[in-house]
Chains A and B, each alone.
Chain A
Amino acid sequence: MGESLKAAIDWLFQPTIYFLGSAALLAAVLYFRKIFSRPIWMVLFFSLGSVFLVWALGDPDFKKIMTKPDNVPIVILLASVIFLSWLALRQAVLNDERTKRGEPTLEAELGRKKVFTWPDLVYTEFICIILFTALLVIWSIEVAAPIEEPAASARTPNPSKAPWYFLGLQELLVYFDPWIAGVVLPGLMIVGLCAIPYLDTNPKGNGYYTFNERPFAVSFFWVGFILFWVSFVILGTFLRGPNWSFFGPFEYWDLHKLEPLVNVDLATYFWVDLLGTPRPDNPLVREAPGLLALLGYFLVLPPLLGKTLLRKLFAQMGFMRFNIFMHFLLWFGLIPMKMLARWIFNLKYIVGIPEWFFNV
């Protein structure tokens, strides 16, 4: 019973099922938000979660990965992201109901009243500080900070992992070359975050929780933050072992686990499998299918969508905003598309020109 449950959990957590399952769950939570914003879900999550932890920590492999000192914060991250997302969703649902009934939002109702900073705000801050100080002191006494063997540039540990907050980016290295996963995507993320206030022209939902008044914006941030950032950090920390191979939470980190690499370039699919000719020598000719696909994706798709499906959005945002927004969105969309293409077709590169380090 115990062993087969562990095997089932290991199976559930392999990257494809883990990712698609989380995506489906996220969509379900947002769609059935009325049901999921009930407090009972948090009671269930925290009680079942604790029972699971107590049971699972009996397993040596699970215990080894969960109780590594640097992994403790990630458990805290997971719990607080789930709880606070629920809290935000609940307030959004309650506010949306109030709005539907023609009442002001909770924030608007309370906002009419002003209170003194001393004592109302000061004591909240004071209590937060005391609690956090206590937490930090107890944590520091209980868990010693890690110190491993002295640095030796000749001995590479396996796995070599970046600090935990960058593991989402390291996970992207499975699907992209470093220049995209480590430079272009993080760069676009920072610029994209900065651009948010200038791209979101919806005046509603300023200063209170809501879902109905800005469904796209809220869903987008949930997907970006929870699915592509936090869940990737968790995947990279707990489920990636030696050689960045996947290991289930109850699996032993076997140094010799090999995952066959059978990935194929788009160019090979096109020239060899489709046309039955050898791959051309000139890289530009060889990669023409991939290059054309990318050009179409980035240059043809935005105006096309602006004229058809997203006409209303285009009219609302104007030419500049719409195009900038679409380019951020398309870069972001490249991530799940490449992941799916890898899982379904074993696609290695859409465009692969290793001669110039230009692989997409």
Chain B
Amino acid sequence: MQKLLQAVRNTQLWRSVFRHGYPDTPRNRTLAVLSNTFLHLHPVKVRRSGIRLSYTWCMGGLTFFLFLVETITGLLLMFYYRPTAEYAYQDIFGMREHVPLGIMRELHRWAAHMMVITVWLHMYRVFLTGSYKPPREFNWNVGVILLVLTLLLSFTGYLLPWDQLAVWAITVGSNMARATPFLGHEGPGASLLSFGGLNFVHAGDDARFGLLAGRFVGEGALLRFYVLHCVGLPLAAATLMAIHFWRVRKDGGISGPL
């Protein structure tokens, strides 16, 4: 057995993939991290204090993991879902029964809820350990934008099942935009923006209209939310995550006493 393993490890095929021996020596452990695209997000060595579960709660890592789960399950869902008022509901309705591995929708929904929770808890941890203090001010700000993006991802996804729950939750949520100062037709100051009795800001062009592509949650809103949910927001979030992780490294790794 040992010999067989040894033989496999000596094939050109194996050695073309793994450029180091079994990671049980300092040299090989270093190479294991450095030569792996994903592991090299990490430094080779880390402070013992920073990797304790009771310090980071692993919440940032879990948020990222859940984002990956969302990407994979979301991709699978896109094969079965058509974002039109005609099909959206029935595509979702039959999902659990008609599709092989029918728990994709469940995985996607529950992981999304968990991601909102883990991102809050991650922020809570970062605050309580004072990790936003210099030199990590900028990364905290990147984090705040990621928090907003996570909530927007969840919010846009909430509409897609196109059932009563979805449509009314988005209606309640987006009604707020109507009251935006100056930009919403029921917001303070909007009536000042008029010219000769002609209102510039009305229900047909205000902030809510821009969000929903209409005066109410209709097919335009569905398409708009779908595109944002599946393309726009994930791209933005992934880009910011890359910046976020890069900065964690550049700011000296996971925070610890100076």
Contacts and interface: CB of A to CB of B under 8 A. Distances in A.
Interface string A25-60: 000000000000000000000000000000000000
A91 interface: yes
A328 interface: no
Interface stretch (A3-11, A178-186, A266-274): A178-186
Contact of B163 (A149, A205, A225): A149
A144 B106 contact: yes
Contacts of B178: 178
B172 A116 contact: no
Interface string B23-37: 100100110110000
B131 A207 contact: yes
B187 A357 contact: yes
A124 B61 CA distance: 10
Interface of A (DSSP majority class): helix
Interface residues of A, number: 98
A136 B166 contact: no
Contacts of A113: 47-48
Given A139-B106, A141-B103, A179 B47 contact: no
A282 to B, nearest CB: 17
Contacts of B176: 169, 178, 181-183
A115 to B, nearest CB: 5
Contacts of A104: 257
Interface residues of B, number: 102
Contacts of A230: 120
A308 interface: no
Given A107-B256, A178-B176, A209-B129, A116 B114 contact: no
A86 to B, nearest CB: 11
Contact of A116 (B29, B123, B173, B192): B29
Contact of A151 (B62, B120, B125, B162): B162
A151 B257 contact: no
A102 interface: no
B250 interface: no
Which of B23, B110, B132, B216 gathers the greatest number of chain A CB atoms within 10 Å? B110
Nearest to A95: B257
Contacts of B203: none
A137 B103 contact: yes
Interface stretch (B1-9, B89-97, B227-235): B89-97
A104 B169 CA distance: 50
A146 interface: yes
Contacts of B218: 153
A181 B178 CA distance: 12
B55 interface: yes
Interface stretch (A77-85, A249-257, A283-291, A334-342): A77-85
B224 interface: no
B257 A111 contact: yes
Interface in B188-221: 188-192, 216-218
Nearest to B112: A73
A332 interface: no
A122 B51 CA distance: 10
B124 A207 contact: no
B66 to A, nearest CB: 8
B241 interface: no
Contacts of A357: 179, 186-191
A177 B179 CA distance: 8
A161 interface: yes
Interface of A: 70, 72-73, 76-77, 80-81, 84-85, 87-88, 91-92, 104-122, 124-125, 128-129, 132-133, 136-137, 139-141, 143-153, 155-157, 160-166, 169-170, 177-179, 181-184, 190, 193-194, 196-198, 200, 203-210, 214, 217-218, 221, 225, 229-230, 356-358
20 contacts: A70-B113, A87-B57, A107-B55, A114-B45, A119-B29, A122-B39, A136-B69, A137-B103, A149-B164, A151-B162, A163-B158, A164-B113, A177-B179, A182-B176, A193-B144, A197-B137, A206-B255, A208-B256, A209-B129, A225-B120
